Amino acid sequence: MRVPIFNDLYDAGSRLLGRAGDLVSGGILEQDVRLGVTGLRRAGKTVFVTSLVDNLLKAGRLPFLDVVSSGRFQASRLRPQPDAQVPRFEVEQRLAELAGPAPHWPTETRGISQLRLSMRYRPNAVLKRTVQPVATLNLDIVDYPGEWLLDLPLLHQSFAEWSALTLELAGRAPRDELSVSWRGWLATIDTAAPAEEEQARRGAALFTDYLHACRRSDNLLSLIQPGRFVEPGDMANAPLLTFCPLPGDRPRTRGSLWALMEDRYEAYKSKVVRRFFAEHFARLDRQIVLIDVLGALNSGPAGMADMKRALELSLEPFRHGSSSWLDWLLGRKIDRVLFAATKADHVASHQHNSLRHLLDRLVSDARAGIRFEGAQVETMAIAALKSTETVVTEHEGRQLRCVRGVPLGRDRPTVLFPGEIPEDADFPPGQERPYNFMAFQPPADLAREARGLPHIRLDQAMQFLLGDYLE
């Protein structure tokens, strides 16, 4: 009979022994690593996962991944995922969208999905080679709508705190014009009056319309909470999604509209956000944070500031720090974090360093906090799928480095000068949107790529995130 106070310790020890027993399976040294591919909407998570899997399966375009360049890599294969209740990430369908007769970018992620890819290699580390000459690393990856990431900060906010922050944000440009109908309804209600279901549904509907307007905004607004209001998944029309922020202080009246909204907010946190975090994010070993820096530049100062705030808030709930032998008892920590500016192929190659320097400035506070906790942090400019090439052209007697590709909405390659990336996030005075970095279609010949999808620094990103596991 176990003493109740030791139940958690006993269970943790049992899990540790179970993992030790599974470490050698069928004579092959085996490890699991859970990679969190995180980022806000439009950052390119789905394309990143697709390209990562395709390149690890084919291993023809990974010169800076040491296990490949040293000749120790043997092969990869897709395996059944560990969480049977989570839908599979349909990598074959995503590849067909990118490499089909009419190539197009994959559809936006509407729900959560997962994939496991196993890599077999010859260990370089003496200890691993002594145990077994061949080892396997199981890589688990989760894809999810970008808005769901922004639910995580709610775990540390009361309904009153969240309401005050959301209303303050909704009253500032450019959100003030988008929230007129919802804020107008708020001015007509008494939050201490007895709750009526129809009134709660009306408020939630107007608030949801406002969030959708933020999502469609040309300002690339990122801070959209709660995420399930715009991407409900299998929760559409559930009472858990029938609440909205309310003004003022919490009234003492039982059965009031405020009490109803607060109860549903807390239920949402408990049954949706906390469960989502525990099942998918609390178990992460490594993390890559994908950021559409060029899109934020296009959106202007408001979009850039909104994205920066959203990133800082979304990273707060994660456990970052150096790993230790006590992780089995205290819970896993993310010990390596990579911030990656995506879509680097949309600018000429000589601009990639400027893109990385701008990213450094945008994430400087978050990076400092993560490093303080003991985790290793790196920044890169990457493109999970390279859709352009850098070319040099003559213009008015001087040479310009441009990009050549097929812009979205066009049907033939075009040479474009994308402009210069600023060295900081400041915008020229009097120019609300001085940047216009264009998006491009996937290359037309991807079906013939036997070496893996072309990319920029995907292998360097993997070396930082997984290189030590593959030693």
Residue 140 lies in a domain: yes
Q: Does 94 share its domain with 179? A: no
Q: What is the mean pLDDT of residues 365-376?
A: 92
The residue out of 270, 298, 316 marking a domain boundary is: 270
**pLDDT value of position 161:** 96
Exposure of 454 by Cβ count < 10 A (0-12 exposed, 13-18 middle, 19+ buried)?
buried
Q: Does 136 share its domain with 207? A: no
Q: Does 298 share its domain with 345? A: yes
Would you place residue 323 in the very low, low, confident or very high pLDDT band (cuts 50, 70, 90)? low
Express each pLDDT in 80-115 by its tens digit: 988 889 999 999 999 999 998 889 999 888 889 999
Exposure of 85 by Cβ count < 10 A (0-12 exposed, 13-18 middle, 19+ buried)?
exposed
The residue out of 270, 302, 318 marking a domain boundary is: 270
Express each pLDDT in 260-311 by its tens digit: 999 999 999 999 999 999 988 899 999 999 999 999 999 888 888 899 999 9
- 138: domain CATH number is 3.40.50.300
Phi-psi region of 430 (alpha: psi -120 to 50; beta: other; left: phi over 0): left
Q: Does 73 share its domain with 121? A: yes
Strands of 92-186, DSSP E: 113-121, 135-143
Would you place residue 447 in the very low, low, confident or very high pLDDT band (cuts 50, 70, 90)? confident
More confident residue, 368 or 422: 368
Residue 137 lies in a domain: yes
Residue 294 lies in a domain: yes
- The sign of the torsion formed by the CA atoms of 350, 354, 355, 357 equals positive
Q: Does 247 share its domain with 287? A: no
Would you place residue 219 in the very low, low, confident or very high pLDDT band (cuts 50, 70, 90)? confident
Q: Does 187 share its domain with 244? A: yes
Residues pairing with 73 in the sheet:
121
Would you place residue 21 in the very low, low, confident or very high pLDDT band (cuts 50, 70, 90)? very low
**pLDDT value of position 445:** 86
Residue 416 lies in a domain: no
Q: Does 137 share its domain with 10? A: yes
Q: Does 452 share its domain with 306? A: yes
Stretch among 10-19, 260-269, 350-359, 392-401 having the lowest mean pLDDT: 10-19
Q: Does 231 share its domain with 303? A: no
Distance (Å, whole) CA 465 – CA 175:
37
Residue 406 lies in a domain: no
**Helix and strand totals (H; E) in the chain:** 18, 11
Residue 415 lies in a domain: no
pLDDT averaged over every residue in the chain: 88
How many structural domains comprise the chain? 2
Q: Does 145 share its domain with 157? A: no
Would you place residue 428 in the very low, low, confident or very high pLDDT band (cuts 50, 70, 90)? low
Are the C-beta atoms of residues 241 and 204 closer than 8 Å to each other? yes
Are the C-beta atoms of residues 63 and 311 closer than 8 Å to each other? no
The residue out of 270, 288, 311 marking a domain boundary is: 270
Residue 334 lies in a domain: yes
Q: Does 13 share its domain with 74? A: yes
Q: Does 207 share its domain with 220? A: yes
Distance (Å, whole) CA 92 – CA 98:
10
Residue 437 lies in a domain: no
Express each pLDDT in 38-54 by its tens digit: 998 889 999 999 999 99
Alpha carbon 244 to chain centroid, angstroms: 25
Give the residue numbers spanning the domain of 454: 4-149+278-387+448-466
E strand or H helix at 49: helix 45-58
Are the C-beta atoms of residues 290 and 126 closer than 8 Å to each other? no
